[in-house]
Amino acid sequence: MRFVFKTTYDQDINLLKHEGYVRSYGILLVLALVAPLLLDEFYTGELTHIFAFAVCGLGLMIATGFTGLVSLGHAAFMGIGAYAHGYFLKLGVPWVFSVVLAVMLTASIGTLFAIPVLRMTGLYLAIATLAFAIICEEVFTGWKSVTRGTDGMFFEEIDLFGWIIEPGSLPFYYVLLILLVGTLLMTANLLRTPIGRAMIAIRDSEISAQSMGVNLARTKIIVFGISAAVTGLGGIMLAHKTTISAPDSYNILQSIALLLMIVVGGMGSIHGAVLGAAVVSVLPTIISIIKDWLPSLQDIHTLPTGVFGLVLIGFIILEPTGIYGMWRKFKLFVDVFPLYRRRTFKRQKAFLKTERMR
């Protein structure tokens, strides 16, 4: 059990609360840095996939996990980011500026979409984002002059001011790692700003947040813009990883996979987005391994969908706090070893929050 003695006020708002954090995140970072040197190519590829997904998940986590704006259509922002990036590249914009421009474009589309839509709450917002995603998917398919329709848009290599980086190479891994770490730091810092505090206040209770002087509409719109931007960046990363961007990769199922990611990982935590991304990326591999063991399952093409559903149901019912919640419980169990009580993590509120009264 660690006792942290607070000696400065900064300690309350520091990113790394005490030296334990420095140590564990330091080890994690070193591991991430040396991973491609130790692992073979396949696993490095899987890691880059996880990085890209984690950034998408973070984008959704900012809106859903931290602000409580449930979005069923975040894959649309992935698509907007990726297609805008590809289009700017085709126009001859340098890679870095193209990424920045695409992310800004995604942010502004997210903001513009948010202005009318965020007057709705809860369910209606989820439906509106769903509709937005469906419309976007059709636009991606139909607007052939920009998106090349169902043929898909190809992303070959990253041209970093003349330095050509092939997808799947060692530098490619580090580019994605840098983007992920940058996004993680950005999100962690965002939560310490007034906007971040307002976000969490809104999630916990809109009425009390409003009473404390939080400007609901403004905060929500900014949050949606940031969330769209981060998801767009994730879309760009994923497009580079998979080297192709087709409307299929931005359908409703993708949006739901994003949602699955943050639920499985753990709602309302940055760790959750990364852990969830790892699960969602690894799950298809696990399924194919299971299929190798049980050849009778080979014919069932719907197995991945079913397993995704099963995992999701299991987490929602048995462990709503996700993998990160499990980890926290385990950590407390070790910390206080013989004294752990299950009731510590009991949910405080166990009644239905009605949405008819707001």
Partner 1 sequence: MELLQLLISGIAQGCVYGLLALGFVLIYKATEQVNFAQGDIMMMGTFFAFAFITGTSKPVSWWSAPIAILAICVGAALFYLLHKRRLPAWRDTAASQPRLQQVTAGGAYWLNLLAIVALYAVAAIFAIRFLSGFGMSWWLALPLAAICGGVLGYTLDAVIVRRIIGQPQFAVVILTLALGFMMRAVAGAIWGADDKGFTTPYSGDVIRFGGGEGTNPVVIGVPSLVIIGGTAVMIIGLYLFFRFTKIGVAMQAASQNQLAAYYMGIPVKYVFSMIWAISAAVATVAGILLVPKLEVFSPEVGLLSITAFAAAVVGGFGSLPGAILGGLIIGIAEALSTRYLPDILIDIVGLDGSFANKIPQVIAYIIMLAVLIIRPQGLFAQIQRKKV
Q: Which of 91-99, 270-278, 285-293, 313-321 is the region at the interface with partner 1 (rule: CB under 8 A)?
A: 313-321
The footprint of partner 1 on residues 249-278 (CB under 8 A) is: 252, 256, 259-260, 263
Does 294 help bind partner 1 (rule: CB under 8 A)? no
Specify the DSSP class assigned to residue 16. S
Q: Which one among 7, 37, 302, 338 touches partner 1, defined by CB under 8 A?
A: 302
| Cα 247 versus chain centre, distance | 19
Sites for partner 1 among residues 51-90 (CB under 8 A): 64, 68, 70, 72
Closest approach of partner 1 to the CB of residue 249, in Å? 18
Compute the distance between CA of residue 244 and CA of residue 157 in angstroms, rounded to an integer: 11
Residue type, 64: T
- Residue 166 and residue 254 in contact, taking contact as beta carbons nearer than 8 Å: no
Which of 5, 162, 317, 338 touches partner 1 by CB under 8 A? 317
3-state secondary structure of 204: helix
The position carrying tokens 């760009």 is: 236
Residue 112 as a binder of partner 1 (CB under 8 A): the answer is no
Query: Collapsing DSSP states into helix, strand and coil, what is residue 11?
Result: helix
312 is a contact residue toward partner 1 (CB under 8 A): yes
Q: How far is CA 218 from the centre of its chain?
A: 22
In the complex with partner 1, the residue whose CB is nearer, 78 or 126, is 126
Q: How far apart (Å, rounded) are the C-alpha atoms in residues 349 and 358? A: 18
DSSP annotation of 348 reads S
CB closer to partner 1 out of 34 and 123? 123
Could you say which residues in the range 127-166 bind partner 1, by CB under 8 A? 127-128, 130-132, 134-135, 138-139, 141-145, 149
Interface size with partner 1, residues (CB under 8 A): 61
Nearer to partner 1, 122 or 171 (CB): 122
Nearer to partner 1, 260 or 279 (CB): 260
How far apart CA 56 and CA 238 sit, in angstroms, is 9
198, 207, 223 from 201: Cα distances, Å = 5, 9, 13
Q: Is 313 in the site for partner 1 (CB under 8 A)?
A: yes
Tell me the residue ranges of DSSP E strands in 107-214.
Answer: 153-154, 158-160, 163-165
Residues near partner 1 (CB under 8 A) are: 64, 68, 70, 72, 116-117, 119-120, 122-124, 126-128, 130-132, 134-135, 138-139, 141-145, 149, 207, 252, 256, 259-260, 263, 300-303, 305-310, 312-313, 316-318, 320, 346-347, 349-358
